[in-house]
Amino acid sequence: MGETPRDRGRERGLFSLAELPPPLITSLTARSVELFHDPAAHDRPLAGQVAGVLFTRTSTRTRTAFTVGAVRLGAAPVTYGPGDLQLNTGESIPDTGRVLGAMLDLLVARTAGPLDELRRLSRHGRLPVVNAMAAEEHPSQGVCDLATLALTFGDLTGIRVLYLGEGNNTAVALAHGLAAVPGAHLTFATPAGYGVPEDELRTAERRAGTVGAVVEQIHGLAAAPRNVDVVYTTRWQTTGTVKPDPGWREAFRPFHVDEALLDRWPRASFMHDLPAHRGDEVAGRVLDGPRSLAWTQAAMKLPSAMAVLEWVAGLHR
């Protein structure tokens, strides 16, 4: 039998930044910066709640950030690895959602499946769910990135970002996040065939047009902007994916960020969501150099996770 309206509730939680109104994105960004400066600037809003933390894919920063963030906000976390739930033995998403919803107050999840799995867990479990990375988008990374930019530059109005490399789930979150910032200019420079998905790009472009922002995509560095505030890259081999073209590295090689490339924009900072493969997408001298924000970005994962959890806790009530 299929789903019926009686079997499910409405979705609640963080699934895509494209679904959040710009003022909420701004609020989450500002709150992340506040918690970065003062991790104790809260009244333990998750006290008495139980937070499920389900990761069926590898994670260092995101899993640690949401687990520690839940503890610091007063929740008791229950963590699940890739082999812990009966999903592994064939139990359905709806049945799993119903059981988790009967016992948990919220769920943070990174699964091996598409974003729709997380939506179904929320509907059938009648509980808020945080997308801690799906194939389509990594929205909590987007909040972290905006907060890192706000910490570094202050007012983000007119911020100029050049993203190099694969148009992956981090890129999608960045597109939807910066599309909500007035006057922002985001350029994706991606290898042909490895760009931001067209539907996601069009969605971001439409929102950007409402606030005077620009989201664009090019496939070569000759057309890159002359002036940018940030050069951003991610690992070329996205977690949990395999590229079909055995010669893909040749297509990506021109987008390698070394000192010579970064010096095209002498005032630009560098960002990377980590993990990094030195020698592939970035040179070690750039990643560990004085213009790198990557380690601040990594530290921002915790306060941005806390900001998201605070907001989601409000959805539970």
% of the chain beyond a pLDDT of 90: 91
- The Cα 181–Cα 196 span in angstroms is 19
pLDDT, one tens digit per residue, over 288-306 is: 999 999 999 999 999 999 9
Task: Give the CA distances from residue 303 to residues 76, 140, 151, 276, in Å, rounded to whole numbers and listed in that order.
Answer: 18, 11, 12, 21
pLDDT, one tens digit per residue, over 23-67 is: 999 999 999 999 999 999 999 999 999 999 999 999 999 999 999
Q: What is the largest CA-CA distance in the chain?
A: 60
Domain boundaries, the chain: 5-137+301-316, 140-298
Checking if the pLDDT of 9 tops 90, the result is: no
Tokens of 64: 């640690």
- Would the pTM of this model clear 0.85, i.e. be above it? yes
Between 313 and 6, residue with greater pLDDT: 313
Q: Nearest CA to 273 among 293, 302, 251?
A: 293
Q: Identify whether the C-beta of residue 106 lies closer than 8 Å to the C-beta of residue 129.
A: yes
Asked whether the domain spanning 140-298 has the same topology as the one spanning 5-137+301-316, the reply is yes
For range 191-202, the mean pLDDT: 97
Q: What is the mean pLDDT of the chain?
A: 95
CATH architecture of 140-298: 3-Layer(aba) Sandwich (3.40)
- The Cα 163–Cα 255 span in angstroms is 10
pLDDT, one tens digit per residue, over 126-176 is: 999 999 999 999 999 999 999 999 999 999 999 999 999 999 999 999 999
pLDDT-based confidence at residue 5 (cuts at 50, 70, 90) = very low
Question: First CA to last CA across the chain, in angstroms?
Answer: 31
For range 228-234, the mean pLDDT: 98
Q: Identify whether the C-beta of residue 296 lies closer than 8 Å to the C-beta of residue 152.
A: yes
Query: For 3-7, 113-117, 136-140, 155-159, which range has the lowest pLDDT when averaged over its residues?
Result: 3-7
- The Cα 158–Cα 16 span in angstroms is 23
Between 4 and 261, residue with greater pLDDT: 261
Q: Look at domain 5-137+301-316 and name its CATH class.
A: alpha beta
